[in-house]
Protein backbone atom coordinates (compact mmCIF):
# COMPACT_ATOMS: atom_id res chain seq x y z
CA UNK A 1 0.00 0.00 0.00
CA UNK A 2 2.83 2.37 0.89
CA UNK A 3 4.52 1.60 -2.49
CA UNK A 4 1.30 2.43 -4.29
CA UNK A 5 1.15 5.83 -2.55
CA UNK A 6 4.76 6.59 -3.48
CA UNK A 7 4.11 5.63 -7.12
CA UNK A 8 1.05 7.92 -7.20
CA UNK A 9 3.05 10.81 -5.79
CA UNK A 10 5.89 10.21 -8.27
CA UNK A 11 3.46 9.99 -11.19
CA UNK A 12 1.77 13.23 -10.16
CA UNK A 13 5.18 14.90 -9.80
CA UNK A 14 6.21 13.70 -13.27
CA UNK A 15 3.02 15.10 -14.80
CA UNK A 16 3.56 18.42 -13.02
CA UNK A 17 7.17 18.68 -14.20
CA UNK A 18 6.34 17.71 -17.80
CA UNK A 19 3.45 20.20 -17.87
CA UNK A 20 5.69 22.98 -16.59
CA UNK A 21 8.44 22.12 -19.06
CA UNK A 22 6.09 22.23 -22.03
CA UNK A 23 4.62 25.53 -20.85
CA UNK A 24 8.12 27.01 -20.81
CA UNK A 25 8.62 25.98 -24.43
CA UNK A 26 5.94 28.35 -25.70
CA UNK A 27 6.38 32.11 -25.74
CA UNK A 28 3.48 34.49 -26.17
CA UNK A 29 4.14 37.91 -27.68
CA UNK A 30 2.00 40.94 -28.36
CA UNK A 31 1.42 42.36 -31.83
CA UNK A 32 -0.43 45.37 -33.19
CA UNK A 33 -3.68 44.56 -34.95
CA UNK A 34 -3.83 45.44 -38.63
CA UNK A 35 -6.47 48.07 -37.86
CA UNK A 36 -4.38 49.84 -35.22
CA UNK A 37 -1.17 49.62 -37.27
CA UNK A 38 -2.95 51.16 -40.27
CA UNK A 39 -4.50 53.82 -38.06
CA UNK A 40 -1.14 54.81 -36.58
CA UNK A 41 0.39 55.06 -40.06
CA UNK A 42 -2.44 57.22 -41.38
CA UNK A 43 -2.38 59.45 -38.29
CA UNK A 44 1.35 60.02 -38.87
CA UNK A 45 0.68 60.92 -42.51
CA UNK A 46 -2.12 63.29 -41.46
CA UNK A 47 0.22 65.08 -39.04
CA UNK A 48 2.90 65.46 -41.71
CA UNK A 49 0.30 66.78 -44.16
CA UNK A 50 -0.77 69.40 -41.58
CA UNK A 51 2.91 70.35 -41.30
CA UNK A 52 3.16 70.62 -45.10
CA UNK A 53 5.13 67.42 -45.79
CA UNK A 54 4.42 64.41 -47.99
CA UNK A 55 5.98 61.31 -46.45
CA UNK A 56 5.99 57.55 -46.34
CA UNK A 57 5.25 55.64 -43.14
CA UNK A 58 6.21 52.07 -42.28
CA UNK A 59 5.17 49.97 -39.30
CA UNK A 60 7.07 46.76 -38.57
CA UNK A 61 6.51 44.09 -35.94
CA UNK A 62 9.09 43.31 -33.26
CA UNK A 63 10.92 41.01 -35.67
CA UNK A 64 11.26 43.82 -38.23
CA UNK A 65 8.67 42.41 -40.63
CA UNK A 66 6.64 45.03 -42.50
CA UNK A 67 3.07 45.26 -41.30
CA UNK A 68 2.10 48.55 -42.98
CA UNK A 69 3.80 50.67 -45.64
CA UNK A 70 2.04 53.76 -46.97
CA UNK A 71 3.51 56.34 -49.36
CA UNK A 72 1.53 59.57 -49.41
CA UNK A 73 0.64 61.29 -52.66
CA UNK A 74 3.68 63.14 -54.01
CA UNK A 75 6.09 61.61 -51.48
CA UNK A 76 9.49 60.95 -53.02
CA UNK A 77 10.21 57.47 -54.35
CA UNK A 78 13.05 56.94 -51.86
CA UNK A 79 10.86 57.67 -48.84
CA UNK A 80 9.28 54.21 -48.67
CA UNK A 81 12.61 52.46 -48.25
CA UNK A 82 13.85 55.08 -45.79
CA UNK A 83 10.68 54.76 -43.67
CA UNK A 84 10.93 50.96 -43.67
CA UNK A 85 14.57 51.02 -42.59
CA UNK A 86 13.83 53.54 -39.83
CA UNK A 87 11.01 51.34 -38.52
CA UNK A 88 13.26 48.25 -38.70
CA UNK A 89 16.09 49.99 -36.85
CA UNK A 90 13.89 51.30 -34.05
CA UNK A 91 12.13 47.94 -33.63
CA UNK A 92 15.24 45.81 -33.61
CA UNK A 93 17.27 48.05 -31.30
CA UNK A 94 14.32 49.26 -29.19
CA UNK A 95 15.41 52.90 -29.43
CA UNK A 96 14.67 55.86 -31.67
CA UNK A 97 16.75 56.12 -34.80
CA UNK A 98 17.99 59.50 -33.52
CA UNK A 99 19.46 57.64 -30.53
CA UNK A 100 20.83 54.97 -32.88
CA UNK A 101 22.58 57.70 -34.91
CA UNK A 102 24.17 58.99 -31.70
CA UNK A 103 25.35 55.49 -30.79
CA UNK A 104 26.97 54.79 -34.14
CA UNK A 105 28.77 58.13 -34.03
CA UNK A 106 30.93 56.49 -31.34
CA UNK A 107 33.83 54.61 -32.98
CA UNK A 108 33.36 51.71 -30.52
CA UNK A 109 29.84 51.04 -31.85
CA UNK A 110 30.07 52.48 -35.37
CA UNK A 111 29.97 49.01 -36.95
CA UNK A 112 26.31 48.68 -35.91
CA UNK A 113 25.41 50.86 -38.90
CA UNK A 114 26.76 48.12 -41.18
CA UNK A 115 24.00 45.70 -40.16
CA UNK A 116 21.78 44.98 -43.14
CA UNK A 117 18.57 47.00 -43.13
CA UNK A 118 19.42 49.62 -40.50
CA UNK A 119 19.72 53.35 -41.05
CA UNK A 120 21.11 56.09 -38.84
CA UNK A 121 18.64 58.87 -39.67
CA UNK A 122 16.12 60.27 -37.20
CA UNK A 123 12.45 59.48 -37.80
CA UNK A 124 12.09 55.97 -36.37
CA UNK A 125 10.42 55.27 -33.02
CA UNK A 126 9.93 51.98 -31.19
CA UNK A 127 6.32 50.94 -30.60
CA UNK A 128 5.54 49.64 -27.13
CA UNK A 129 2.45 48.09 -25.59
CA UNK A 130 3.08 48.97 -21.97
CA UNK A 131 6.67 47.92 -21.40
CA UNK A 132 6.64 45.33 -24.22
CA UNK A 133 8.34 46.20 -27.49
CA UNK A 134 5.87 45.30 -30.26
CA UNK A 135 7.46 46.97 -33.28
CA UNK A 136 8.63 50.21 -34.78
CA UNK A 137 7.32 53.09 -36.85
CA UNK A 138 9.42 54.93 -39.39
CA UNK A 139 8.60 58.13 -41.24
CA UNK A 140 10.60 59.41 -44.19
CA UNK A 141 10.23 62.44 -46.40
CA UNK A 142 9.99 65.52 -44.19
CA UNK A 143 12.84 68.03 -44.52
CA UNK A 144 14.52 66.72 -41.34
CA UNK A 145 14.52 63.63 -39.18
CA UNK A 146 13.16 65.46 -36.14
CA UNK A 147 10.08 66.41 -38.18
CA UNK A 148 9.71 62.79 -39.33
CA UNK A 149 9.94 61.70 -35.69
CA UNK A 150 7.31 64.27 -34.65
CA UNK A 151 4.88 62.77 -37.17
CA UNK A 152 5.65 59.24 -35.95
CA UNK A 153 5.02 60.31 -32.36
CA UNK A 154 1.75 62.00 -33.36
CA UNK A 155 0.55 58.75 -34.94
CA UNK A 156 1.45 56.81 -31.82
CA UNK A 157 -0.17 59.39 -29.55
CA UNK A 158 -3.47 59.17 -31.42
CA UNK A 159 -3.64 55.42 -30.72
CA UNK A 160 -1.99 55.36 -27.28
CA UNK A 161 -5.16 54.06 -25.58
CA UNK A 162 -5.29 51.06 -27.94
CA UNK A 163 -1.65 50.05 -27.39
CA UNK A 164 -1.32 50.32 -23.60
Question: Is residue 4, in this structure, part of any structural domain at all?
Answer: no
User: Can you give the pLDDT at residue 126?
Assistant: 98
Cβ pair 62, 44 in contact under 8 A: no
How would you list the strands of the sheet with 66-71, edge to edge?
66-71, 56-61, 132-140, 124-129
Question: Is residue 3, in this structure, part of any structural domain at all?
Answer: no
Question: Is residue 147, in this structure, part of any structural domain at all?
Answer: yes
Domain that holds residue 88: 34-163
Check which CATH number belongs to the domain holding 60 and give it. 3.30.450.150
Question: Is residue 142, in this structure, part of any structural domain at all?
Answer: yes
Q: Is the dihedral of CA 51, 53, 151, 45 positive or negative?
A: positive
User: Can you give the pLDDT at residue 140?
Assistant: 98
Question: Is residue 106, in this structure, part of any structural domain at all?
Answer: yes
Q: What is the average pLDDT across 121-150?
A: 97
pLDDT (tens digit per residue) in 77-106: 999 999 999 999 999 999 999 999 999 999
Structural domains counted in the chain? 1
Question: Is residue 117, in this structure, part of any structural domain at all?
Answer: yes
User: Can you give the pLDDT at residue 72?
Assistant: 98
What mean pLDDT value characterizes the chain? 90
- Cβ burial, residue 7 (10 Å; 0-12/13-18/19+): exposed
Residues 130 and 134: their CA atoms lie apart, in Å, by 9
User: Can you give the pLDDT at residue 23?
Assistant: 64
CA angle 17, 23, 29 (to 5 degrees): 160
pLDDT (tens digit per residue) in 4-14: 444 444 444 44
Report whether pLDDT(16) > 90.
no
Q: Is the dihedral of CA 94, 95, 101, 107 positive or negative?
A: negative
Question: Is residue 144, in this structure, part of any structural domain at all?
Answer: yes
Residues 90 and 125: their CA atoms lie apart, in Å, by 5
User: Can you give the pLDDT at residue 24?
Assistant: 81
Cβ pair 74, 54 in contact under 8 A: yes
User: Can you give the pLDDT at residue 7?
Assistant: 47
User: Can you give the pLDDT at residue 113?
Assistant: 95
Q: Is 65 helix (H, G, I), strand (E, B) or coil?
A: coil
Question: Is residue 126, in this structure, part of any structural domain at all?
Answer: yes
Amino acid sequence: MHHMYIRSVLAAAALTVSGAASAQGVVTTKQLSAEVANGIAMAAIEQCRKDGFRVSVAIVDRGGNVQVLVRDDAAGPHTSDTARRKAFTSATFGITTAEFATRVANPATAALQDITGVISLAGGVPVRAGSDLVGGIGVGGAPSGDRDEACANAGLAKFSAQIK
